[in-house]
Amino acid sequence: MKYLMMAMALVITAGAAFAAGSGDHGHAEGHAMGRPGTAQQVTREVEITMIETDGGMAYEPAALEIAQGETLRLKVRNAGEMPHEIVLDTPAKNAEHGALMARFPEMEHEDPHALRLEPGAEGEIVWTFETAGTFEFACLIPGHAEAGMRGPITVSAPAPAQAQAQAQAAAAVPAAVFTKGTVKKLDKAKSKVTIIHEELVTLDMPAMTMVFEVPDATIFARLSEGQKIEFVADRVKGKLTVTGLK
C-alpha cells in the first residue's frame, strides 16, 4: 500500500534513534488551544475513529467544528491494524513534532492533548478550547499524516451577545475549590484512589484518609502513588468522587 511505503521510507531516512531513554516525550507547558478539561466541564462528546483504507489513512470525522470555550470529551477508537496517534495542536507545532518523530520514530506522546492507541484500543481526551482559531488533529507517527491522517479543528469565537451570556453564566458558577492531598493507593481495576487529604471544605469533611471514585480516565491517568496533588471532590450519584485535578 502507498501509505505503508511512505511510512517505511520516512522511518528509514530518520537516522539513528536515541541509545537510551524511554522514548516518551511530553509538552505539558501552556498550550495555544487551551487547557485540559475535567469531567464536570464537558459540554459535548465527539467520537473519532482511526481508519485505514487502500488509499491511505484517515480520521472519521475528518474535521472538527468547536465553539470557543467548549470542553469536549473526544472518545477515540483505533479501528485500523496499525498503531496510531491523535495529537491536537497548531499545524506549525504538529509539523515541528512530526519532524522530530521522523528523526526518532520510537518516541511516543505523553500529553493531555494526545493519545497513542494500539489496534482495537480506545481512549479519550478531555480538552477546553479557550482560543479561537484554526488548529489541527494529526497522527505524527512517520508517514501517517502524509497518508491522510490529519484534519482541521476550527474554534469559532462567539457572537458578542453570546459571549456576554457565557460570561454571565460563568460568573454564576462558583469556582472549584481545590484540596491538597497525597495519593496513598491506586486501584486501577475499580478506578479508585485513596487520598490522605486536608479538610474538604465543600463537603464539610475533616482531614482524613479516604477512598474516592475516579470515573474520568484522563484524571486517573495523571495520578501516581505518593504524588502530592490538589484536587476537587464532590458527591456524584451518592459516591465521593474526584472531579478535578490541577
CA angle 70, 43, 188 (to 5 degrees): 110
User: How far apart are the C-alpha atoms of 79 and 185, rounded to whole Å?
Assistant: 34
The more confident residue out of 24 and 125 is 125
The more confident residue out of 105 and 57 is 57
Closest Cα to residue 93, out of 184, 4, 166, 30?
30
How many domains, in total, are found in the chain? Answer: 2
Provide mean pLDDT across the span 164-183.
77
pTM of full prediction above 0.85: no
Which domain covers residue 211, as residue numbers? Answer: 179-245
Do 33 and 132 share a domain, yes or no? Answer: yes
User: How far apart are the C-alpha atoms of 58 and 62, rounded to whole Å?
Assistant: 7
pLDDT above 70: residue 20: no
User: How far apart are the C-alpha atoms of 240 and 226, rounded to whole Å?
Assistant: 20
Do 155 and 69 share a domain, yes or no? Answer: yes
Examine the fold and report which residue of 170, 202, 226 is the final residue of a domain before the chain moves on.
170
Examine the fold and report which residue of 170, 190, 207 is the final residue of a domain before the chain moves on.
170
pLDDT at 207: 92
pLDDT above 80: residue 95: yes
The more confident residue out of 91 and 104 is 91
Do 140 and 71 share a domain, yes or no? Answer: yes
Exposed, middle or buried, 223 (CB in 10 Å: 0-12/13-18/19+)? middle
Least-confidence region, from 1-5, 68-72, 150-154: 1-5
